[in-house]
A and B are shown apart, each in its own frame.
Chain A
Amino acid sequence: MNFAIETNHLSRIYKIRNNKKGNAKELVALQDVSLEVHPGELFGLLGPNGAGKTTLIKILTTLLAPTSGTAFVCGYDVVKEAHKIRPIINMVSGGESSGYGLLTVRENLWMFAQFYGLSSKEANQRILQLLEVVGLADRINTKSSDLSTGLRQKMNIVRGFLTDPQVLFLDEPTLGLDVSASRDVRRFIRQWLDEHPERTILLTTHYMAEAEELCDRVAIINQGRVLACDTPASLKHRLQRQAIYHLEISQVNHHYSDDLKTIQGVREFVLRPRDGYTVLELILDRDETLAAVVNSLTENQGRIINLQKREPTLEDVFVDLVGKSMEDVERGNNGVNHSES
């Protein structure tokens, strides 16, 4: 079978010269990644910043050579057949303000459409159509330097979809957008794929809700390794035997974290101080363990403000796989098996 994207034992190591003696430090960005993405799928790569998501996208879009392993897009080798891949892909990266500021929105988009060989007539039609969808049609003749970051991001999203690529790479497409704009973008992505069921999207994100809402399948990636790959429902199903609780508790002394680690049946937990209270996310082997957790809380002069049993989320899956929340991983918290922030 021809996959839209296929990687086999893909690895990428960066050599970083970090001192005057010229000694190079090795940074493993991707390690033995094997993935298969089917045509028509919206496939998500979920992981914290620095997990290797962008590195994988760079390799698949022919910007970066892998250190070892192979990767194919629509059956073409990313190293040997880059020229065959480029006409059928496109990419959009979030959180950046790229674009030729001296050109208008229309000129920027027209130029890129031309690079992909679209006729001027078709390009202009599609530009107008897509700008209307993302609510940017009234700025078509505005110089892109005069656009806000969010509007520039929308222009770039249009640039990615404009060429109707067979495989579209979206690298954190909603990064830096406000809530409403992010929602619009997510709706647009889903709508585009519904209208073009043969197209494929690889989306990287560190927003759990985004992956959950959009993706047909998700690969959870951390420190360059794919830890799990399945549908969001199946990933969450892994935790269905466990009891997951969300507690808001009064401020407790710092021994509480150590005490929690000693309670048998506490699988994972995350403590997050908030203004005047602390959030405790718990994954327990069974409901009965909660009593021991509450007892320990009382012993540490704490009290429960709010307690909720809830269904597992992808965040819980990540915590279960990595032992830390994604937020903690990004902050470089080195807790073992459990985390605090």
Chain B
Amino acid sequence: MFRSLSLAAAIALAAAASPVLAETRSSVTIASPWEVASYDPAVAGFTIQKLQIMENLVDADATGALRPGLATQWAASEDGLTWEFTLRQGVRFHDGSAFDADAAVLALTRAWGQPGVLQKAPITQITAKEGKVVVTLDAPFTALPAFLAHATTIIPAPAAFDAEGKPVALIGTGAFAVSAFTPPQSISLMRNDAYWGEKAKLETATYLAAGRAETRALLAESGDADIVFTLDAAGYSHLSHVETVETSAVPIPRVVALKVNAAHPFFNDPKARQALSLAIPRDGIARAITRFPEAAADQLFPPALNRWHSAKIEPLQTDIEAAKALLADLGWVPGDDGVLTRDGERFAITLRTFPDRPELPLIAAALQDQWRDIGIELEVSVASYSEIPAGHQDGSLHVALYARNYGLTPDPIGSVLQDFGPGGGDWGAMGWENQKVVDALKVIASTSDQELRQANIATVANLLQQELPVIPVVWYQHTVSIDKNLEGVVIDPLQRSYGLSEMYWAKD
């Protein structure tokens, strides 16, 4: 057996060795868990944007501050209902065609017609006028430029669509053009030498989707992939001892949270939701499951969202005795088996979660164990994540555990409005509405007065902390391993870019 193995090894080595030696390092391989199988910005926009294949009218830096992208400037009319975006001149798509207002309007109109972020803005029309893109609204909405930085509002070339308007190619204006696409696993890129901005230092790059965390850790350790994103806890701690790579963890605006059905008789009193929160072992979960002790979420908005996170907020605590006392106040009495009862009803509930993020079922198991101590019998149902919005719609949901990204747009107002605005949201409040929050959100979405905006953000954050329609558990860290010889790597906490165009190999 070993003979045939080593024979095969020798043959393959002979075949592979010669080109490897001749190659200078002007290429990197990126590995991440997310597969790409579509040309559609609504489906695959996140990866297309991160790989710098296509670009937005508006760009953002690592702090979320907006900066010019394919639009050089933008301004709203005095009544706040008309926005004009002045476009960058002389930009060409990868196929050589010119980028202009018609191309931008075509792409944005399509994005607006798809389920996605633009449908959450009060848009009434998107048109081209005198070389500018004009967006009209039926209510003032200051976050519009931030929405145009979202991954699903990238601008493909008109040639990327077929006659029926279906996306059939990956043609953009970005620093890299696609040289080969093998869905769902890989995209090969080459430098766009006609790029309007600073050209990439690398000549080529490869994106590889590797679904298993073990595979990604091995890719990093062997050097087959130069940058590997999203490592599991075991892989991350192993790679931190490997000499050839550097590991890094960057806090990102994603939070693991519990959605509670506040219309359910068990949870309609804020005290009940506070009791659930007091019985969440945040420190233990952050230490033992996600393994970043500083990431225990004592408020909803993570530190990465510096305008929404507040040091002044009273942090959420863990206190089992206080939780029991709150439930006793609400009339719950321990039964013979330790499970609470009230008016002949047992405190037995179901938590819905999903396995796509492997830590979620583990956190659910920790909650199940901890909540038993305060007399709550929790059944955990691990299924498709679509069961959570489905349960929200038909009212059958009790509690749900999920991960929510508040950094999808550089300004999180879009997501917050969706989650805590009138009627709540599929990934936010359920059976809960607070007029003060609704009013404050309206101001945040429409004012351009920064001080007023900040005061209203504080109001929202404080009320969410007291009322707990959604209970935060842990914040996320973006884990990355990087080859030690690779320079210029910047990890974007908003996950808008892999920063490929800035990277270069150190000279030996």
- A and B interact: no
- Residues of chain B touching chain A, judged by Cβ–Cβ distance below 8 Å, are none
- Residues of chain A touching chain B, judged by Cβ–Cβ distance below 8 Å, are none
